[in-house]
Structure 1
Amino acid sequence: MTAVGIDAIEIWTGKLRLDLPGTFAPFKGEDPEKYTKGLGLEASSFPDVYEDIVTMGANAAKRLMDRRGLTPDDVGRIDVATESAFDNSKPVSTYIAGCLEQVFDGDFHHANKGERKFACVAGTQSIDDAYNWIKAGRNRGRSAIVVATDTALYERGDPGEATQGAGAVAMLISEDPDVVELSTEQGYGSADETDFLKPNQQFPSVDGKRSVQVYLARMREALEDYESVAGDTHLDDFAYIPFHTPFPGMVRKAGLLGFRHMIRDTEIEADLAGEIGRQPREGEFGSREAYEDAIREYMDALKRTETYQDWYAAAIEPTLTISRQVGNWYTGSVHIARVSALKNAAETGRGLTGERLLVGSYGSGAQAEIHAETVREGWRDEIGRLGLDEQLARRYELSFEEYEQIHDAHNHVKETEIEELTQPSGEFVFTGWGRMNERKYDYIE
């Protein structure tokens, strides 16, 4: 069978940086460690006044096409995943295609275009769509471009404000891919939930505590469903486990839950029993409440063991490096985590070809998806061409006053006019509105 997967990746981060412990925390009168140790964040990326989900997505896609020498004729579909869309009818993918047609010969008139919405899991769903399109033989030898692009803003003063971020990830989905091959097996955990939603509003309504519970519950269901078709998972099966990362502190909870699940009835659990006891089994308790109390005690002990901490440091921690510096990118979040893992392997000289990743995607509302990916031979060259460190280093450092102005400038209900903080060069920019209130874009040399 022909392998299908991610052939190339490009990232475009918002061009502004907010230092959370150094700038945000002092103005909030809070301990900087609330962000660095609690949430696990150092900084957030924000879009300048001429940036939005279209410019970031188009700029990432252009870099992808330039680097791979692609023309519009090579692309059979453009799928955009976002939960920051500004039009309930016209998809963001049409705007992005229009931008690209300004700089490439030819057009995308024969490419299928769409927009996916299911909170943060939509990026993975768009990859699934492209995978199925290729596997069905409908691609005519062409590839798909999947763009996950979001401006993740909360209302000022909201508890989630520190987890904000903005950026785009563009991925080329092809036969015989260079980065990772996608597994056929998938697992899902899905339920009608109201943990995080935006009912006809820009900024989310969030039940923070409930959101964490739903995230963990759907991830557990998805892992169990994945194992029902792929077989039991074990710690040594996967080099890295990238999770959806709204903030790294959430992944600490998911990592611990996954570890407990994977060591159950294994030699690792038996080896740890002398130190912290055996995992509680529900049948051993007279009530569900007593069982859950015992589970919490076991988990508290488990996370302090050297066995768990060593595994987390190797398999999970390297997936969080980029997120710590850019915040939550919603649909792009798990795809940043994948890049972070591969970047870590490249920088440490790890030979990753043929090893597997277990990818855990999640979207509020709520659905989790888990699948495996096998790392391909060309992964190191692809990751080496990203130039992400240079992008991050070039970001403009916001003062708190500038942050408030930028936040207001991207608030759909406010009329805020401020000067751009950076100078666009070699990129698409937002230039204003057209006669039907559509957004307009130009390429700046």
Structure 2
Amino acid sequence: MNIGIDKINFFTPNAYVDLVDVANARGIDPNKFTIGIGQNEMAQQPRTQDAYTMAANAAYPLMDEIEKEKIDLIIFGTESASDASKSGAVILQNLLGIQKYCRCYEIKQACYGATAGLMTAISHIHQHPESRVLVVGSDIARYGLATGGEVTQGAGAIAMIISANPSIMTFDEKTVAYSEDIYDFWRPNYSSTAFVDGKFSNEAYIRFFNETFHGYCEKYGTSLDDFGALLFHMPYTKMGLKALRSVLEEGSEETQERLTNHYEKAAMYTRRIGNLYTGSLYLSLISLLANDENISTEDTIGLFSYGSGAVGEFFTAKLVPGYEKHIHKEDYEALLNRRVRFTVEQYEDLFNQTWLEEDGCETYQCDFDDAPFQLEKICDHRRYYKGGK
């Protein structure tokens, strides 16, 4: 049975800060950000957007009445949840008007959460071939102002519908996962920003890629030359490139050129948005399919997912003939190009605002937020949303 991605989309809030502006404000050479880190812009979410509204806004264009009736499993990958008990998946089910006979839950394992959801969705479709599964990854990446990780922040969501006989991509279900208990990146419950051991985190990411990639090649008898493209979780675009370069010499010159060219296309949207955490790998997939005319349905595409703490997984897929009809580049470009450019002062002011964490009510408004779903208020420790069904 062919199982894979039938529909896919991403959402990012309609505000950003230019990283040249941030570099100048910090007294740093802008090339350190734009070349050394490989980032140009960083998404900013207004107070009317949280992890749940971003997920709904990513999934909304995929919905029609058939989807609302046939989806019977919603898996929400995030490390930006606002509730330690209630799942964002049930919020998403309600916002999108998906039928009630549906299993809904949330997954947390740093940036690996959406991939964990994808693997579970594939198993579900094997057991229930007529089912359709909604998998989302939605996050707000925060490290702190003027910190080493500041330039790798971001916000946004991806949404995928997984089904049998998909229209975009099929997974061959050959996969290798690797896990260790490490502290490369973590966020205790009492902290609104993450902690990261930068050098160790970079080393762990590349090591986990090599463990899973070479483990895959050994297990399934493949080599670098067998891959048409490699996709990576991208906390920032230079990070994935470092991982790619760690194995490039294992391939021919033609392979090295091909994989590098595809990587540049896959990195285009991350350069403009920043780190999506759970959605990052799949944003790179959308970027590749929207911007690379040289990718082929004959190519085997390798995907590396990584979640700090840590879990890595390498798996493979192939595109379905005609996939390009289901990739809407014009919509993606319109979403990015209509965003409001924040000043550094606006960005810092927004960063320092906190959510209501006591009795009472707080209402949120944003004149330039035109997304279909928005956070309206927090009242008596409950979140209320507008937009819908």
TM-score (norm: length of structure 2): 0.93
Instruction: Tell me the alpha carbon deviations over residues 177-231 of structure 1, each in whole angstroms, 9 at most, x when there is no partner.
Output: 1111012110112111100001112211100000011111111111122223322
Q: Is the 8 A contact 2:67 2:132 kept in 1?
A: no
Could you tell me how far 1:308 is from its partner in structure 2? 7.7
Aligned to 1:355: 299
Look up the match of 1:160: 149
Partner of 1:18: 17
Please show how residues 41-440 of structure 1 align to structure 2 within 5 Å.
41-66=39-64, 70-101=66-97, 107-135=98-126, 137-138=127-128, 141-200=130-189, 201-235=191-225, 237-260=226-249, 262-263=250-251, 268=252, 310-345=257-292, 348=293, 350=294, 352-384=296-328, 387-409=331-353, 420-425=365-370, 427-435=372-380, 437-440=381-384
Contact 1:241 1:319 in 2 (8 A): no
Q: Is the 8 A contact 2:135 2:162 kept in 1?
A: yes
* Cα displacement string for residues 69-119 of structure 1 (whole angstroms, at most 9, x for unaligned residues): 534211011111001111111011111112112xxxxx4321111111111
Letter matched to residue 120 of structure 1: C
- Tell me, which stretches of 5 or more residues in structure 1 are unaligned? 102-106, 269-305
In the alignment, residue 57 of structure 1 is paired with which amino acid?
Answer: A
CA change 1:324–1:439 in 2 (3 A) is same
Residues 383-430 of structure 1: CA distance to partner in whole angstroms, max 9, x if unpaired? 136610000001111011110121123567799x99855434461110
Please give the alpha-carbon distance, in whole angstroms, between the structure 2 residues aligned to 1:383 and 1:187. Answer: 28
Stretches of structure 2 lacking an aligned partner (at least 5 in a row): none
Evaluate the alpha carbon distance shift between residue 351 and residue 117 of structure 1 in structure 2; reply closer, same or farther with a 3 A threshold. Answer: closer
Which protein has the larger Cα radius of gyration, Structure 1 or Structure 2?
A: 1
- Cα distance, 1:238 vs structure 2: 2.2
Q: Supply the distance in 2 between the matched residues of 1:412 and 1:311 (Cα, whole angstroms).
A: 50
- Alpha carbons of structure 1 residues 234 and 426: separation in structure 2 relative to 1, 3 Å: closer
CA gap of 1:30–1:413, structure 2 versus 1, over 3 A, is: farther
Q: Secondary structure in 2 aligned to 1:147? A: strand
How much does 1:157 deviate? 2.2
Q: Match for 1:18: what amino acid?
A: V
Secondary structure class of the residue paired with 1:242: strand
Give the counterpart of 1:34 among 28, 32, 35. 32
The superposition leaves residues 33-53 of structure 1 with CA deviations (integer Å, 9 ceiling, x where unpaired) of 011110000001111110111
Contact 2:14 2:369 in 1 (8 A): no
Give, as a single letter, the amino acid of the residue that structure 1 aligns with 2:94.
Answer: G
- State the 1:309 CA deviation: 6.2
Change (3 A) 1:413 1:208: farther
Tell me the C-alpha RMSD between the 2 structures: 2.2
Counterpart Cα distance in 1 of 2:85 and 2:121 = 21
Separation of aligned partners in 2, 1:239 and 1:386: 25
Kindly provide the CA deviation profile for residues 230-251 of structure 1, in whole angstroms up to 9, marking residues without a partner as x: 222232x222211010011111
TM-score, normalization: structure 1? 0.82
Identity of aligned residues (%): 30
Task: Please give the alpha-carbon distance, in whole angstroms, between the structure 2 residues aligned to 1:426 and 1:159.
Answer: 31
